[in-house]
Structure 1
Amino acid sequence: MITILLVDDHPVVRHGLRGMLDAEPDLHVVGEASGGTDGIDLAVALSPDIVLMDLRMPDLDGVAATTRIRAAVPATRVLVLTTYDTDRDILHAIEAGACGYLLKDASPRELADAVRAAARGETVLAPSFASALARQVRQPAPAALSPREVEVLRLVAKGLTNSAIGRTLFISEATVKTHLLRIFNKLDVTDRTAAVATAMSHHLL
C-alpha cells in the first residue's frame, strides 16, 4: 500500500484528490494539510511514501515546504501538483527536491500512475515541461555524456539504486557513483532528479 499525504490550501481540491486516490486498491491517503507548515509537521509524524504538494499556499509555499520535508523525512518523496506551469515554478520545485511535477488537470489515471511511479523512485515529469526546463537550465548546451553515462542515467530514470545499476551494468557501486558525479558536473546539477530532468530537456535520454 502506497501512503499519501495531501498538502493543499483548498478543501474541495483535497476532498477530490482523496476520493480519486482512495478509489485505487493500492493507494491510501493518510493525512491532509491546508498549508506548508502543517504539511511538514504531518510528513514528519506520518512518514508517508508520497506527499502531493501544491505550490501556492498562504503560510508557506510548496517549494519551501518541499525543501524542509526532504531534509526531515528523506524517504518521503514529494510530487508537486499545481495549477501553475511557469518555467520558474517548474525549476524551483525540482531544485527543492521534488521527484516530479504534474498539473491539476491531469486525469485520475495519470495521477494514480504518477504516484505509483514516484513511489518506485522514478522521476515524474509531464512531457510538456521539457521545453520549459530547457529554457531554464544554466548551460544552453551541457557537455556531452558518454555512452556509459547515458546508460547509467537511463537506469536512474527508471528508479534503480546505485547497487542495482552496478549489477545491471556489471560494474561496481563505486564506479556507478563516479559516473553520477561526472554526470552531475556535466549537467550542472546536484541530485539525481535534476540530472534526469535536465537530460530529458536536452534530449539526452
Structure 2
Amino acid sequence: MMQKLLPGIFAMAATVVASNILVQFLFGQWLTWGAFTYPLAFLVTDLTNRLYGAQAARRVVFVGFAVGVACSLIGTQIMGEFGPLVTWRIAIGSGVAFLTAQLLDVAVFDRFRGGVWWRAPLVSTLIGSSLDTALFFSIAFSTPLAGLEPGNDVSWANEVLPLLGLGPAAPLWVSMAVADWGVKLLLALAALLPFRLIVRKMNAPIA
C-alpha cells in the first residue's frame, strides 16, 4: 500500500513546500502566491481518499503535516527584513489549520463517498477549506489570540480598513482571509476536472 501512496505523498510534500515558499511573495493587496498552490493539498487528499480509502488519505495528510511543521521551524530561524520569515503564531496557525481541515476533509469525503461523483470532493473541500481559512487567520493575526506570542506585533494586520477595499470597515487580516477563502472556493470547483480525469485514468469507481 505504501508504494501506491508514494505519488500522493510526494505530491502533498511538494504542495506544502511550494506553498511555504510562495507565501512569502505578495499577489495584489490581500493575497500571496501561496494561496494558489496550497488548495492543491485538498485535491491530493481527495484523490487518495477516492482511490485508496480514508485511512490512506490520513497517512498522506500526516506526511503533509510533518513537512509543514519542518518548513515552519526552518522559517522561524530565517531572518527577513522585518524579523523571522515565519512567526510562531503563523507556525501554530498553519499547523493547526492544516491538520484539522485536512482530517475534516477526509471524514466529510468518506461520509459522501457513495453519492454522485462530484459531491464528495466538492463538499469536503468547501468545508475543509472554510475551516482552514478561519483557523489560520484567526490564530495567526487576531487580537484576542495575541497571547500566543506576546512579543509578535501584528498591529499591521489589525489596521481597520474597508473590507477588500470596498466593503464595511474590518481588520486587514479579515480582508486577507476573505480573499484567501474566495480563491479556495474557486479552486475547489476547478479541481473537479483533474479529479475526475485522474480517477478515470486510474480506472477507479467515481461514485
The higher-RCO structure (CA 8 Å, 6+ apart) is: 2
Instruction: From the two aligned structures, give the one with the greater strand fraction.
Output: 1
TM-score calculated relative to the size of structure 2: 0.30
